[in-house]
Amino acid sequence: MKIVAIVGSPHGAKGSTARLTRIVLEGAESEGARTETLFLKGNTVLPCLGCDVCHKKGHCPQKDSFEEILEKVRSADGLILGSPNYIFSVSAQMKAFMDRCGGIIHCLGFHGKYGASVVTSGGGDEEPIAAYMDHFMMITGIQSVGSVWATMGMISGDDFPEAISHRARELGKRLVHAWKNKESFPEVQQKMAAFKERMRSLMEYRKEEWPFEHTYWKEHWGLK
Ligand SMILES: Cc1cc2nc3c(=O)[nH]c(=O)nc-3n(C[C@H](O)[C@H](O)[C@H](O)COP(=O)(O)O)c2cc1C
């Protein structure tokens, strides 16, 4: 299994989110997964321009690392999203990545992959942020197997408490097991099916304006 982790902290590999994500990856690696971590620092992924070119032509005209990151995710079996809590939400870097995935979302272009989410915060409120990243993954076609988080204000020293490290390692292992066993999560599947129907209607409605996505739907999802 190949897993790509995307960490949306400006602190990159040295940040708390990257350190917690690393433990998840160690769990996955212990079950045989190959992993790669990508950091959304600086202008790696610029904000979406809302130009609709991705819907019309299937690529983004902006010159940054987005398309390269996309290729890596496309060729992976699993995706881990890691973000710090920035004002009760994901970081701007992570949000920019999500917004740029509009074309992927319309096509459920990551369908069949498995995911997990990682959040760190200063003082708490991680759960809705993890749920938001899981929801994002669902609308791209990914089934999330769960999440892990840590409140850094409650942690002294450089190491995570063993309870959190254990949860992180187990999450990584669960991700690999889900992929190996082709697991299906009925609740996620149900939401995904409903979302897919919304996108099907959208594609029928926008077929003239968005030829790339309409063709994708005809080829992959049997749109007439
Ligand atoms: C712009 C900004 C906004 C933040 N907002 C919150 C917040 O709303 N709640 C919170 O608990 N921590 C907040 N924090 C703290 C970070 O979530 C926390 O330090 C996190 O572990 C940083 O992860 P990193 O080292 O991977 O960047 C904020 C930090 C920054 C820089």
Establish whether residue 84 lines the binding site of ligand 1, counting it when its CB lies within 6 angstroms of any ligand atom.
yes
In a domain, 162, yes or no: yes
Establish whether residue 83 lines the binding site of ligand 1, counting it when its CB lies within 6 angstroms of any ligand atom.
no
Q: How many domains does the chain have?
A: 1
- Which of 63, 33, 52, 36 has the alpha carbon at shortest distance from 179? 33
Range of the domain at 44: 2-183
Structure tokens at 122: 């200063």
The residue contributing the CA closest to ligand 1 atom 24 is 15
* Tens-digit pLDDT profile for residues 174-190: 999 999 999 999 999 99
In a domain, 214, yes or no: no
What CATH code is carried by the domain that includes residue 64?
3.40.50.360
- Cα 192 to averaged position of ligand 1 atoms, centre (Å): 30
Please say if the pLDDT value at position 35 is more than 80: yes
In a domain, 173, yes or no: yes
Establish whether residue 15 lines the binding site of ligand 1, counting it when its CB lies within 6 angstroms of any ligand atom.
yes
In a domain, 82, yes or no: yes
Please name the residues in contact with 197: beta carbons below 8 A apart, sequence gap of 6 or more. none
Please, are residues 21 and 82 in contact by the beta-carbon 8 Å criterion?
yes
- Cα 118 to averaged position of ligand 1 atoms, centre (Å): 13
41 vs 59 pLDDT, higher one = 59
In the chain, pLDDT over 70 holds for what percent of residues?
Answer: 100
In a domain, 34, yes or no: yes
Buried b (16+ CB within 10 A) or exposed e, 109-122: bbeebbbbbbbbbe
In a domain, 94, yes or no: yes
Q: Give the ligand 1 atom nearest the CA of 17.
A: 26
In a domain, 202, yes or no: no
pLDDT given at position 131: 98
pLDDT given at position 170: 98
Q: Give the ligand 1 atom nearest the CA of 9.
A: 27
Q: Give the ligand 1 atom nearest the CA of 150.
A: 21
Please say if the pLDDT value at position 47 is more than 80: yes
Q: Which residues pair with 18 in a beta bridge?
A: none
In a domain, 78, yes or no: yes
In the chain, pLDDT over 90 holds for what percent of residues?
Answer: 97
Q: For the chain, give the mean pLDDT.
A: 97
- Regarding pTM above 0.85, the answer is yes
